[in-house]
Chain A
């Protein structure tokens, strides 16, 4: 498998060349084009309810596509994967470690990467992103996309992060919700609820914030 992220950083998309039998797993909406030498099979990521609720409530896509090079010999297949927001994409290597992803950040992963839904702790509750996250673990490569540029950051001491900017974090990161600068200025100053992250560990930030993305949780009532 060869891969390359093109048109960085504003409109990044992923080009993958698959050798016979190789498979890449991609977020269900990510496939922009693929050669006829591929075979695409949909699979529920996190099961059926997630896929259904996505339809009903319009949340994140919880089912994924396995894209396989279905030909033999010297042939190969090419697939272009995109992300819904204009921004950068990065490839992360997992070597037995795992990572929590905010909704929408997952683009694709190699076959050996396990996708699951993991409890992400109470601290993540108030950020509007919910208690659970897509968790990627195992060995292989995972591609994540963000709105704007993506910057990794090593956390040792506590850091205040706007919840809309945090797109991925290692499980060693502790997240607490808090108010930025006291009750009064929080409610009247516009910053409101922030996340306080504590290390050790690494977080990934996107430089822009899609405000409306999290507000869907209220839209079905």
Chain B
């Protein structure tokens, strides 16, 4: 025996209605108010009707016209059909037949809508790409910053920020060395990096240039060139506005759907249940290769050893199988290190001119000591 959430319409109640829990018995359907009052509609007089905004609301009525029980909880109708007396079962059968009929009508409506979508889908992909590029081009860079700000509070969900100068200073120094080699509008952004205490080997950049590196990455990297490679890769996501591009892409599909259905907000909201960071930092494969190739060029221009990037990818592969900590895999799972990716990066490296490599004020060794609490 289960209980179902629902409610009661009763003229005698002060508000005319109240929430109730509904139970099905052999002798009838019972609704219990929180205040303790109990209503019972006996099986032999029970009438059922579907309705409400969604069409899934079940109305249960008896002889008293002033009393209606209602519930949208799944399974209630089935339970009335199996538990209640014969008359109630007949009522369920009648309703089920009616519902099946309207469902067929609704289904054909959906099929028409789906057909329209398929046709639109066949025509649109080539146009779609152009449209996304055009749309992103139209959006001001300040929008990236705003989006990044909105998501930035989630950064700390990974762990506390590390303020020790040896670690935070190293991250900032690497970032600042890369900055002058970015296009002017990106270099002018409020680029900032936070070191977050976490065993995960991960780093990410939000639209607008707010970045985070998890301390696991600093612990696992062999040298500063590997760290710089990851930062440069992430900066290229910022530079090419991949986060907002991903959003416009998904929004574009939704726009299509919404044209067909005359609706936007809701479908969007339905898809919106995922986390903010996941949305903004989940890029397509194309975006990843772009970030790799432009990123490795950036490291070279800033005087880091470009070999740090392929080396880091190999390092990830090497850590992964032996690691007992599943988290160590996280940058890898968001950045699958395919052999082709490494090959593409290595093919580019010989053509790169490496900039001047001034001595660093911070060292990875000192940062590591700070992370160990020494």
Task: Identify the A interface with B (CB < 8 A).
Answer: 42, 44, 46-53, 55-57, 59-60, 62-63, 95-97, 100, 103, 117-126, 128, 130-133, 154, 169-175, 198, 200-202, 217, 220-221
A96 and B255 within 8 A (CB): no
A49 and B53 within 8 A (CB): no
Nearest first, the 6 A-B pairs at minimum CB distance are: A132-B266, A47-B272, A96-B19, A130-B263, A49-B272, A46-B269
Task: List chain B residues, Cβ under 8 A from A42.
Answer: 150
User: Which of A57, A169, A175 has the largest count of B CB atoms less than 10 A from its CB?
Assistant: A57
A200 and B268 within 8 A (CB): no
CA of A48 to CA of B276, assembled, Å = 6
Shortest distance between the CB of B282 and any CB in chain A (Å): 12
CA of A220 to CA of B225, assembled, Å = 45
Report 24 cross-chain contacts, Cβ distance below 8 Å, ordered by A residue.
Answer: A44-B276, A47-B271, A47-B272, A48-B275, A55-B147, A57-B264, A60-B265, A96-B18, A96-B19, A96-B34, A97-B17, A117-B265, A119-B54, A121-B53, A122-B106, A125-B261, A132-B263, A132-B270, A171-B54, A173-B52, A174-B57, A200-B59, A201-B52, A217-B264
CA of A51 to CA of B262, assembled, Å = 19
CA of A102 to CA of B367, assembled, Å = 54
Q: Which of B243-251, B284-292, B305-313 contacts A (4 or more CB under 8 A)?
A: B243-251
User: Which of A62, A131, A172, A198 has the largest count of B CB atoms less than 10 A from its CB?
Assistant: A172
CB of B343 within 8 Å of the partner chain: no
Residue of A nearest to B266 (CB): A132
Interface residues of B in 211-268 (CB under 8 A from A): 247-248, 250-251, 254-255, 258-259, 261-268
Task: List chain A residues, Cβ under 8 A from B180.
Answer: none
CB of B129 within 8 Å of the partner chain: no
Residue of A nearest to B271 (CB): A49
Task: List chain B residues, Cβ under 8 A from A62.
Answer: 265, 269, 272
CB of B72 within 8 Å of the partner chain: yes
Pick the residue among B57, B258, B270 that contacts A172 (CB under 8 A). B57
Task: List chain A residues, Cβ under 8 A from B9.
Answer: 172, 200-201
